[in-house]
């Protein structure tokens, strides 16, 4: 057994996860209690741990009731530096159990599974909910439409601007002003890393009206920078004006936000803040947007919850903030059948993302492959 396999086995055979097993950098992102919750959920869902084996560039953790693709890296002292689990693959995938998990969640949940234009499963599929960074599918769809019409080029250059920089996730907020990138690179960062500055740069480049055509419910269509500024408690007057204004008044208000500084990331590390300052789509609409862009290879860089080794093709985009979570995946089976699975959860308090992702993974892996 390799040291990585031993570390994985210890997670699932010990009574309690020990913080000393992890590098400090990982604990800053996910405390041991969060890892413990995921471990407990996997064991509850799949039964007793049995084994861990190497499979390509990752490991597969084997339980009595299924397997979990597992990615792990250790530092020089043997502590866990990175750790992630893909969607569980049950021995007998039970979509009913997963569906019951979704239905038992507090707040608002919507789900759809589509194949070939036909809906095979739907729960509140026409309810418009906040979807976080999944809105970036609309930005990508607008770019692709204009590129296909030869009105834009994937190789044209866009420059980072100080006044367009946003908060993480992403990396471009740290890049120097004037740094040039191709539009394709900007789009790839927007989708694969959910880079917020890349999303704002892409939206500004293609034009707000072009993106609004892909998500007409969201007018005016906010950049992430504008959303963060409106959510900032220091800008309560601007938020109040936004809430009572019509579309024209809101467009006028956006011009006044350009001079306001970005809030600290710490502002958003707690509970739910101004959940109405968001991007609203139905899961059907998200699957429609995904269908428009899934042919772009950049949508496959980050497969999300799906294990790409199980599918002929995977395209993915998700989104989250406190109280908001969406996962949208288009997969093509080895037999050539294409599915879209989109699920959204909104609540007035922070969400149990691990529980949601596990149920989503079971639903995804219950599809005929």
Residue pair 139/205 in contact (Cβ under 8 Å)? The answer is no
Whether this prediction's pTM lies above 0.75 is answered by yes
pLDDT at 157: 97
Helix 224-231 with 236-244: angle, nearest 10 deg: 110
Could you write out the three-class secondary structure of 304-326? CCCCHHHCCEEEEEEEEECCEEE
Nearest partner of 52 among 38, 72, 34, 32, judged by Cα:
72
CA dist 276 and 256 (Å) reads 19
| Displacement of CA 250 from its chain's centroid (Å) | 27
pLDDT at 117: 85
Domains identified in the chain and CATH numbers: 3-85 (no CATH), 95-131+279-365 (3.40.710.10), 132-268 (3.40.710.10)
Residue pair 126/282 in contact (Cβ under 8 Å)? The answer is yes
Quote the longest CA-to-CA distance of the chain: 64
Residue ranges for the chain with pLDDT beneath 50:
none
pLDDT at 93: 63
CA dist 209 and 186 (Å) reads 19
* Residues with Cβ within 8 Å of residue 299, at least 6 apart in sequence: 140, 191, 290, 293, 315, 316, 317, 330
pLDDT at 98: 81
* Residues with Cβ within 8 Å of residue 218, at least 6 apart in sequence: 135, 138, 212, 279, 280
If one counts every other C-beta atom within 10 angstroms of the C-beta of residue 353, the result is 16
Q: How many residues does the chain have?
A: 369
CA dist 172 and 178 (Å) reads 11
Nearest partner of 283 among 313, 231, 319, 331, judged by Cα:
319
pLDDT tens for 58-94 read 999 999 988 999 999 999 999 999 999 987 877 766 6
Residue 134, CA distances (Å) to 17, 62, 72, 194, 288 in order:
33, 32, 27, 9, 12
């Amino acid at each position: 057994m390799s040291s990585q396999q031993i570390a994985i086995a210890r997670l699932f055979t010990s009574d309690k996860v020990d913080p000393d097993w992890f590098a400090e950098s990982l604990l800053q992102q996910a405390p041991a209690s969060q890892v413990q919750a995921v471990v407990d959920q996997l064991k509850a869902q799949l039964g007793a741990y049995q084994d861990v084996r190497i499979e390509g560039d990752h490991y597969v953790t084997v339980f009595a009731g299924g397997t979990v693709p597992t990615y792990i890296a250790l530092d020089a002292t043997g502590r866990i530096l990175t750790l992630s689990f893909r969607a569980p693959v049950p021995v007998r995938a039970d979509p009913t159990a997963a569906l019951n998990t979704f239905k038992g969640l507090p707040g608002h949940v919507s789900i759809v599974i589509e194949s070939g234009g036909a809906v095979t499963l739907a729960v509140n599929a026409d309810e418009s909910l906040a979807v976080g960074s999944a809105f970036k599918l609309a930005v990508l769809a607008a770019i692709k439409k204009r590129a296909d019409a030869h009105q834009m080029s994937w190789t044209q250059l866009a420059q980072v601007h100080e006044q367009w920089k946003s908060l993480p996730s992403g990396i471009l907020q740290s890049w120097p002003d004037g740094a040039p990138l191709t539009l394709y690179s900007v789009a790839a960062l927007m989708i694969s890393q959910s880079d917020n500055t890349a999303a704002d740069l892409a939206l500004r480049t293609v034009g707000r009206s072009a993106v609004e055509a892909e998500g007409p419910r969201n007018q005016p269509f906010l950049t992430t920078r504008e959303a963060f500024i409106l959510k900032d408690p220091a800008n309560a007057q601007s938020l109040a004006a936004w809430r009572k204004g019509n579309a024209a008044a809101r467009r006028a208000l956006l011009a006044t936000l350009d001079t306001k500084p970005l809030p600290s990331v710490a502002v958003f590390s707690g509970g739910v803040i101004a959940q109405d300052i968001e991007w609203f789509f139905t899961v059907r609409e998200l699957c429609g947007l995904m269908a428009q862009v899934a042919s772009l290879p950049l949508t496959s860089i980050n497969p999300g919850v799906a294990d790409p080794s199980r599918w002929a093709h995977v395209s993915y985009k998700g989104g989250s903030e406190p109280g908001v979570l969406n996962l949208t995946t288009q997969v093509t089976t080895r037999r050539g059948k294409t599915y879209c699975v989109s699920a959204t959860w909104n609540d007035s308090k922070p969400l149990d993302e691990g529980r949601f992702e596990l149920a989503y993974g079971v639903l995804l892996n219950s599809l005929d492959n």
